[in-house]
Amino acid sequence: MVESTHTRSTPAAGGAARDGGAERSQIKIVVPDDHSMVSLLGSRDESLHAIERAIGADIDIHVRGNEITVTGPETETDLVSRLFTEMLELLKGGTQLTPDAVERSLAMLRGESGARPAEVLTLDVLSSRGRTIRPKTLNQRHYVDAIDKHTIVFGIGPAGTGKTYLAMAKAVRALQDKKVNRIILTRPAVEAGERLGFLPGTLYEKIDPYLRPLYDALHDMVDPDSIPRLMAAGTIEVAPLAYMRGRTLNDSFIILDEAQNTSPEQMKMFLTRLGFGSKVVVTGDVTQVDLPNGQLSGLRVVQDILDGVEDIHFSRLDSRDVVRHRLVTDIVDAYNRYDEQRMPQIKPGGGGAGKRRRR
């Protein structure tokens, strides 16, 4: 635990400009000796600098030995004290305190959900090949929990929010725990604005580029040497969506990726493959539809059709859940603003987009 002492003072009339006249507080945080200050504050104080950038100029943070003194408006000093408590709990749970993890922890503490970073960021989804896969945001934690609780889960959100990666980790974990007998990974073979049909090679070689992202995630989580054996035995199957027609999939963990590129008919076909003892996760980004002009996206339509159906859950992620380079968040937000400005000019169903449904 972080030991802290508080002193508070009301600013003089001439010194109120800096924080708007708010009562100022000073908190002294004593970090227990069994914790490394380098692990807490980061190499070259990277985590400390991340806190200072996120909190703003109203807060002064001074470190001397294992003592951290925080001075500023009372609400902000209390927030920083809670943040250091959570950071130490994260270290105990084996989470590496990167500047990104610190910023996400601070965002959670500022939110209205009451979620504790130490509870959200320390959930082990899968430990494999010397590293542990965990959710990195509150929405990701809700998404992972939904997969545990529901038979069919839709993970809808922009690129980089971990939709497919976390679903893959849950699938591998379910296979390891013998909750399912096989993993089936599928996605529609739709070009993203390019024409690949005339590429040379066999049918397998032609469809391989569409399925490669699934293979890449799989190689992160399973010993690469064992993947050919598991695929030869049918324990892991990676196939285009068209190969699902006419099948009943029992005791399986089934992931449909890039589902925004399914037609409504394909989505219905896929969902009705569900057999006994199986779990389905459907992932997609409704802002990146690559279907031919005028064709509706099955992922958009299914939200209206299955809304409220028991044991089916829709998890929605947004730019705050992007776990790639911070510029990806800015790019997603910029495109969202651009789309919102153009919405009155777009007819429903035009350009394969269909009518956007705000939730």
Smallest CA-to-CA distance from 283 within 322, 332, 321, 316 is with: 316
How high does pLDDT run on average in the chain?
Answer: 84
- CATH 3.40.50.300 describes domain 126-352: yes
> Cα separation of 88 and 37, whole Å?
10
Strands 252-256 and 182-187 come out as parallel
pLDDT digits (tens, 9 = 90+) for 5-62: 556 554 544 444 444 555 778 888 888 876 788 889 988 899 999 998 888 778 899 9
Sequence ranges of the chain with CATH classification 3.30.1370.10: 3-120
Could you tell me which residues come within 8 angstroms of residue 135 by beta carbon, excluding any fewer than 6 positions away?
A: 120, 121, 123, 125, 141, 143, 144, 162, 166
**Which amino acid does the sequence have at 163?**
K
State residue 284's pLDDT score. 96
pLDDT of residue 343: 64
- Please give the structure tokens belonging to residue 39: 């692990």
The per-residue pLDDT for range 302-351, each reduced to its tens digit, is 999 999 999 999 999 998 898 877 788 788 888 888 888 876 554 444 44
- The encoded tokens of residue 141 equal 């934690």
Question: Per-residue pLDDT tens for 75-84?
Answer: 889 999 999 9
Return the CATH superfamily for domain 3-120.
K Homology domain, type 1 (3.30.1370.10)
CA–CA separation, 70 vs 81, rounded Å? 8
